[in-house]
Amino acid sequence: MLGVHKAVFPVAGIDTRFLPATKASPKEMLPVIDKPLIQYAVEEAIAAGITELIFVTGRGKRVIEDHFDKSYEVEHVLRARGSQSLVELVQSIKPPGVECIYVRQAEPLGLGHAVLCAEKLIGDEPFAVVLADDLLEGKPPVLAQMVPIFSHYDSSVVAVEEFESGEASSHGVIDGRHWDERIIAVSDIVEKPSPETAPSSFGVAGRYVLMPSIFSHLRRVKPAGNGEIQLTAAIHSMLKDEQVLAYEFEGTRYDCGTKLGYLQATVDFALRHAEVHDAFDAWLRARVGAAGAVPGQPAPGARGTLHH
C-alpha cells in the first residue's frame, strides 16, 4: 500500500478573469465567505493525510506564504483583546506537523511545467496535485476519497465529473471503460477538446494523485500551441507505460476560476455557514420572492447547483 504525503499546489498563474481584484493579489486568496480558496485546498489535502505542502508560486504571490506563516502581530493583538478563540483560529491555518515549502515558477509555462518545478522536492514518491480554484466539497473530502483508490490499485488517479454538453473545451477530457460505478480505466485523455471531438463527457476536476513516473513524461512532452506544458499531455504519454484511473468523486465542484462558479460557492457556503446561514437564508428567500419566485421554495440555483 502506497501512502501519499506530499501535495503540489500550483499557484503561480496570472488571473485575468477576476481583474481588477487579482491585479495585486493572487486569485487563490479570494475568500469564499471568510476563508481563501487556497486554505480550503490545503484543508482538503491535510484531511487526506498530506503533511508536506509544496506551493509552486510566482511573482506577486508572497501573500500566500504569509497566510501560512505565523503572524506574531495578529496573534499579539488578538491576545491583548482577549480573543483566544481567534488566536486558535489563526494558529490552526497551518497545523503542527504540516510543512509548507515554496518553489518559484519563473515563467507561466503551464500546469505541467508548474508540477515539473516541484520535481526535486517530490523525489521518487507519489504525490497529489490540487488546483485551488476548483473548490470541491465532499464527505469525506475528495482527495481523501482518492488516496485509498490510488493505494489500492497502485495507479495514478485523476478526479472526474460529468460535464454539461458544450463544456468540453474548459476541461481535460478522458476516454475509458468503467470498472465499477465510480472508477474508470482511462484509455485516453485530451486537453480542452472541442465539443465535437470530445471523447466523453467526463472532465478532469483539479485533483490528481500521481506516480512520480509522471516527471519523465513531463520532461519529454512537447509544449502545446500556446507554449504551455500541459499536465494532461504528460498523463496521455504515461498511458503508454502504465495504468491511470479516473474517479468520479462524490461531492460538488465549484469552478471558482469563473465568476459564476465563485458566486455559486459563495451562496452555497453562506447557506451552511454557522454564523450567517439563518440570516442569509431569510434574506435570499425574501430577495428571490421579491423577484417573482415561489415564496417558501429554495432559491433557484442556491443549493446543490452543479451536476449533483
Query: Which residues contact ligand G1P by CB under 6 A?
Result: 111, 131, 134, 171-172, 191, 203-206, 230, 232, 257
CB 165 within 8 A of CB 201: yes
Minimum distance, C-beta of residue 192 to ligand G1P, in the bound complex (Å): 7
* Cα dihedral sign, 69-70-76-79: positive
Q: Of 45, 247, 250, whose CA–CA distance to 131 is shortest?
A: 45
CA end-to-end distance (rounded Å), the chain: 31
Minimum distance, C-beta of residue 38 to ligand G1P, in the bound complex (Å): 15
Which of 78, 261 has the CB closer to ligand G1P?
Answer: 261
Minimum distance, C-beta of residue 170 to ligand G1P, in the bound complex (Å): 7
What is the amino acid identity at position 9?
F
Which of 129, 288 has the CB closer to ligand G1P?
Answer: 129
Minimum distance, C-beta of residue 182 to ligand G1P, in the bound complex (Å): 18
What is the amino acid identity at position 24?
A
- The Cα 156–Cα 243 span in angstroms is 7
Minimum distance, C-beta of residue 90 to ligand G1P, in the bound complex (Å): 29
Which of 49, 193 has the CB closer to ligand G1P?
Answer: 193
Task: Give the nearest residue (CB) to ligand G1P.
Answer: 172
| Polymer length in residues for the chain | 308
User: How is residue 194 annotated by DSSP?
Assistant: -
Which of 12, 211 has the CB closer to ligand G1P?
Answer: 12
Minimum distance, C-beta of residue 76 to ligand G1P, in the bound complex (Å): 39
Burial class (CB within 10 angstroms; exposed 0-12, middle 13-18, buried 19+) of 198: buried
Which of 94, 113 has the CB closer to ligand G1P?
Answer: 113
User: Considering just the CA atoms, what is the radius of gyration of the chain in Å?
Assistant: 20
Which of 28, 191 has the CB closer to ligand G1P?
Answer: 191
- The Cα 36–Cα 159 span in angstroms is 22
SS3 category, 121: helix
